[in-house]
Structure 1
Amino acid sequence: MRLNIAPRGRTPGEKFLRSIGMVVVFAAVAYAFWLNTQNTMERLQARNALWDETGIMNKQELDYLKGFTRSMRERFGVKTVIQVRKTRITPPEADNKEVFIGLCPPEKQIVLQFPGLIRHALGPDFIAYLRDKHFKNSFSDKGWISALQTAVAMIWEKLVDVETEAEYEAMENDDSGSVSQEITAPKPETDKKQE
């Protein structure tokens, strides 16, 4: 059995229009499939990136944290995992491409793991502050939720500041290089005319 998908039409113009219509339909189906796949992948990644075992956080709070994990992946290329557990957290193996933020409110436990470059950008003082002081009095009631949201906002702000400083320094270095080239550029040959 032979599959005949050639467009039919009474005139060459009608055949052409039907051919274009088939291409548009195939393109629309392919695009819809691609969008569905992207959406499914994003949901799977978000599900793996955030785990609230306590079930205390509402949809807005979860969406805020999901937005942070998505933004970290898109802007810095780093997977971010946030876990809120009811029982003590066993830190995962260190990963060079993963930020891990773990909270266990009943145990007042905080686990922070940052890959090398992120750890360097944040600095040891900032990480120590987050681990030792930021969450200190926030484990009563639901205070840890706002402390967690504030912590991820502080991490984001610090990383963006470091990135902006690096871009600014790179621009300054490029500018200074072009200025020195202008200064050392050869002089016009006016002396030869005077001789």
Structure 2
Amino acid sequence: MRLNIAPKGNTRKEKFMRLLGMLVIFTLVGWAFWQNNVSTLEKLQGRNSLWDQTKILDNAERDYIKGFVRGMRSEFGVVTKVHIMNEMITDISTEPKEMFIGLAPEYDQVILHFPSLVRLALGQQFIEDLEQNHFTGKFENDKWPEALQTALAMIWGKLLNVDNNVQPMSEEYNEDLHDPESSVNKE
């Protein structure tokens, strides 16, 4: 059996227009399929990235945190998880290249886990300040959602600052580098 998908028409112009119409339809279907896959992937990644047992976060706060998570993944390649728990956080199992932010508002507990390169970029003093000082007094007044958003903005800003401060190698340094295998001074 032979598959005949050639457009039918009485004139060449009609055949061409039908062929053009088929191409437009196939393109639109392909684009819609792609958009559906992107949307589904974002939903799946979003479900795993933010876990709020307290149900205190409103939609705007949830969207802000999810945007931060997406930005960390797209800009820096860092998988990020934010967990807000009702019980004390005792055991966290994170991947070495994963950023984890855990809050237990009832217990005034903050746990931060950063991948080694992110930890290096942020600096130990900055991380300790976030863990020990930034959320102080915010849990009693239920001001921790704002403090969390501020902490995420501070992390983002600090990482962007590091990214912008990276200087290219100087020409003088580049001239000193050479491949010993391609050198004219072979033994």
Give the TM-score normalised by the residue count of structure 1.
0.84
Describe the superposition over 1:9-55 as per-residue Cα deviations: whole angstroms up to 9, x where unpaired. 00122112111111110111000000011011111111111111100
Does the CA-based 8 Å contact 1:49-1:66 persist in structure 2? yes
Q: Which portions of structure 1, spanning 4 or more consecutive aligned residues, are displaced by more than 3 angstroms?
A: 1-4, 173-178
Matches within 5 A, 1:96-111: 96-111=96-111
Taking only aligned residues, the RMSD between alpha carbons, in angstroms, comes to: 1.9
Equivalent position of 1:163 in the other structure: 163
Letter matched to residue 95 of structure 1: E
Q: Which runs of 5+ in 2 are unaligned?
A: 175-187
Equivalent position of 1:56 in the other structure: 56
Q: Which sits farther off after the overlay, 74-83 or 140-149?
A: 140-149
Letter matched to residue 106 of structure 1: E
Equivalent position of 1:189 in the other structure: none
CA distance in 2 between counterparts of 1:32 and 1:8 reads: 26
Does the CA-based 8 Å contact 1:94-1:115 persist in structure 2? no
Equivalent position of 1:139 in the other structure: 139
Equivalent position of 1:126 in the other structure: 126
1:177 deviates by 6.4
Q: Which structure carries more helix by proportion?
A: 1
User: Quick check: which has more Rg, 1 or 2?
Assistant: 1
1:174 deviates by 4.0
SS of the residue aligned with 1:8? Answer: coil
SS of the residue aligned with 1:65? Answer: helix
SS of the residue aligned with 1:9? Answer: coil
CA distance in 1 between counterparts of 2:155 and 2:142 reads: 21
CA distance in 2 between counterparts of 1:69 and 1:174 reads: 34
- The answer to whether the aligner puts 1:112 opposite 2:112 as a matched pair is yes
CA distance in 1 between counterparts of 2:149 and 2:15 reads: 59
Flag the 1:16–1:158 CA change in 2: closer, same or farther, 3 A. Answer: same
Does the CA-based 8 Å contact 1:91-1:111 persist in structure 2? no
Describe the superposition over 1:35-86 as per-residue Cα deviations: whole angstroms up to 9, x where unpaired. 0110111111111111111001111111111111111111001111001110
SS of the residue aligned with 1:130? Answer: helix
Does the CA-based 8 Å contact 1:102-1:112 persist in structure 2? yes
Matches within 5 A, 1:148-187: 148-166=148-166, 169-170=167-168, 173-174=169-170
Equivalent position of 1:79 in the other structure: 79
CA distance in 1 between counterparts of 2:36 and 2:20 reads: 24
Matches within 5 A, 1:31-70: 31-70=31-70
CA distance in 1 between counterparts of 2:42 and 2:136 reads: 33
Count residues in correspondence. 176
